[in-house]
């Protein structure tokens, strides 16, 4: 057996199994932060494809790129990215109705109560302007406008080509000292005494030793599950969709600064506009819709020419019971899967990589670090799970067996508490630094038809003329700012147009 001796310098040997977005995001972060202090190797095979449908992101990715000193315009050109201000949800509350989940704040909060309480009090006084009139990001998105504003007043994320993003990060990671090894992992060798992973054995009997291993092998989870048997908690009973089909098409119009999530009778479809193409997909529950019908529905709704063949994906929503086990950390799909409804896939990669960086062992792995990492990851994924369930549970749709099931299914106590608290009092509280803040929860709950029965009494403290002036000033400020913004497409052309998009 041939043997690759990784290092004799005493440096910690970190081996990342798998490339793609998860592998190269992790490699770029570790290499950029640790540099020559570690010996970093990434093993991947060109013969193994990646899921590659993570095209829509959320605002924390802006901070992740800044952390790595990635020039935004440069990265956007390389990944054919557009800006994203939120998600348009169509047919979720009921067929023919829609609402927008923006990345921004709505109105102005008081320290004792959120803006929704003042807005609801305003309704009783005849101020019947829609809630959306008070959100800058929402109004800018619907107007198809975007620009960077002073004081970062416009919150945004990206719609991007995840494969091109991984390619961009690979260059950065390799420039910072990451060694890439081409090869397919044949088996995982465990240490006979400790039970830790000792090495990856590649086809051709190459042996890649390491001290710490990062499993970025996707749904296969070759290390964390295949070798270490971490176990998996299945959440399909809460999130019943288990299949997706993705396809890319040519662009037929200027890209809008938002993603569309369009519900159908057994799931939903996505549309994500990039500079050079559009990402399309259908998510569905195989108990209520078969693959052929789902594909026919998807192909019947796409715009533009097909650029790829349909990519059929089967998945199980859930989480690995141990995302750090022994000397192995799972990052990305190997650690669990949240369906792409709220664009959290790349975010979960980012969060896991950052946690690993903060808990990186100096030698022997600490059981305390492992326990803390697992608790934080599990809690965050539970919180995201609850937010996703909300979209299915809080619905007025009863037009299909799928939606009737969703409306009557049991939900976690943690979600039931949040829904009923808002329904009874109009209050939303963010717990343990969870990903989705109060504004996100109230936009989705109100959009899905949950109407609070009352509001905080502090809202009634404003006299009628004060309330009218307060609400009007916010609406006018939003409208004035949106009117002054440039068109999203023209801003992209000036700021970060990719060569292919310019040629088109």
Q: Which residue has the tokens 């990669």?
A: 349
Do 341 and 230 contact (CB within 8 A), yes or no? no
Do 225 and 334 contact (CB within 8 A), yes or no? yes
The reply to whether 3 belongs to the active site is no
How many helical (H) and strand (E) elements, i.e. helices and strands, does the chain have?
Answer: 15, 21
Assign residue 312 a region (left: φ > 0; alpha: ψ between -120 and 50; beta: otherwise). Answer: beta
b/e code 389-406 from CB counts within 10 Å (16+ = b): bbbbbbbebeeeebbeeb
Sheet holding 232-234, edge to edge: 232-234, 318-320, 336-337
Radius of gyration of the CA atoms of the chain, in A? 24
Return the SS3 of 207: strand
Which residues are 270's β-sheet partners?
261, 281
Pairing of strands 179-182, 38-44: parallel
Q: Say which of 8, 84, 125, 171 is annotated catalytic.
A: 84
Q: Greatest CA separation found in the chain?
A: 83
Interatomic CA distance for residues 278 and 272, integer angstroms: 6
194: exposed, middle or buried (Cβ count in 10 Å: 0-12, 13-18, 19+): exposed
The phi, psi pair for 102, rounded to 5°, reads -90, 165
Non-local (6+) Cβ contacts of 85 within 8 A are 102, 103, 104, 137, 138, 140, 141, 146, 154, 155, 156, 257, 258
Please list the active-site residues.
84
């Amino acid at each position: 057996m041939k043997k690759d001796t990784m290092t004799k310098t005493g440096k910690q040997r970190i081996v990342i199994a798998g490339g793609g977005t998860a592998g190269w995001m992790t490699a770029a972060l570790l290499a950029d932060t640790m540099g020559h202090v570690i010996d970093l190797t990434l093993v991947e095979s060109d013969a193994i494809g990646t899921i590659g449908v993570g095209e829509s992101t959320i605002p924390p990715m802006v901070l992740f790129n800044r952390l790595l000193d990635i020039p935004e315009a440069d990265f956007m050109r390389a990944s054919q990215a557009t800006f994203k201000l939120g998600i348009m949800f169509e047919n979720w509350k009921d067929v023919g109705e829609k609402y927008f989940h923006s990345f921004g704040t709505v109105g102005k909060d008081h320290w004792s109560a959120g803006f929704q309480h003042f807005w609801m009090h305003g309704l009783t006084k005849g101020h019947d302007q829609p809630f959306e009139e008070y959100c800058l990001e929402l109004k800018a998105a619907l107007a198809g406008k975007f620009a960077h504003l002073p004081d970062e007043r416009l919150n945004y994320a990206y719609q991007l080509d995840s494969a091109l993003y991984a390619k961009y990060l690979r260059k950065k990671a390799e420039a910072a000292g990451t060694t890439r090894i081409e090869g397919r992992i044949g088996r995982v060798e465990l240490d006979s005494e400790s039970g830790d992973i000792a090495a990856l054995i590649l086809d051709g009997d190459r042996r890649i030793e390491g001290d710490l291993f990062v499993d970025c092998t996707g749904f296969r989870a070759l290390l964390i599950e295949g070798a270490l048997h971490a176990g998996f908690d299945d959440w399909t009973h809460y999130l019943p969709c288990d299949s997706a089909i993705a396809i890319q098409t040519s662009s037929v119009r200027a890209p809008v600064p938002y993603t569309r999530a369009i519900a159908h009778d057994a799931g939903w479809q996505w549309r994500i506009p990039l500079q050079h193409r559009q990402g399309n997909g259908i998510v569905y529950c195989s108990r209520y819709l078969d693959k052929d019908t789902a594909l026919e529905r998807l192909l019947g709704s796409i715009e533009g020419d097909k650029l790829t063949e349909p990519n059929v994906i089967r998945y199980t929503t859930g989480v690995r019971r141990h995302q750090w086990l022994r000397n192995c950390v799972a990052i990305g799909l190997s650690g669990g899967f949240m369906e792409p409804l709220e664009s959290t896939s790349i975010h979960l990669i980012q969060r896991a990589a950052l946690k690993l960086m903060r808990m990186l062992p100096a030698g022997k792995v600490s059981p305390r670090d492992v326990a803390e990492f697992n608790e934080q990851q599990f809690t965050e994924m539970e919180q995201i799970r609850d937010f996703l369930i909300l979209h299915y549970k809080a619905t007025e749709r009863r037009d299909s067996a799928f939606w009737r099931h969703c409306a009557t299914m049991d939900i976690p106590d943690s979600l039931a508490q949040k829904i009923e608290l808002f329904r009874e009092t109009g209050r939303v509280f963010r717990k343990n630094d969870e990903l989705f803040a109060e504004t996100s929860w109230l936009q989705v709950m109100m959009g899905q038809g949950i109407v609070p029965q009352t509001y905080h009494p502090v809202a009634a403290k404003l006299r009628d003329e004060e309330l009218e002036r307060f609400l009007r000033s916010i609406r006018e400020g939003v409208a004035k700012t949106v009117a002054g913004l440039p068109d999203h497409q023209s801003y992209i052309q000036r700021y970060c147009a990719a060569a292919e998009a310019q040629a088109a």
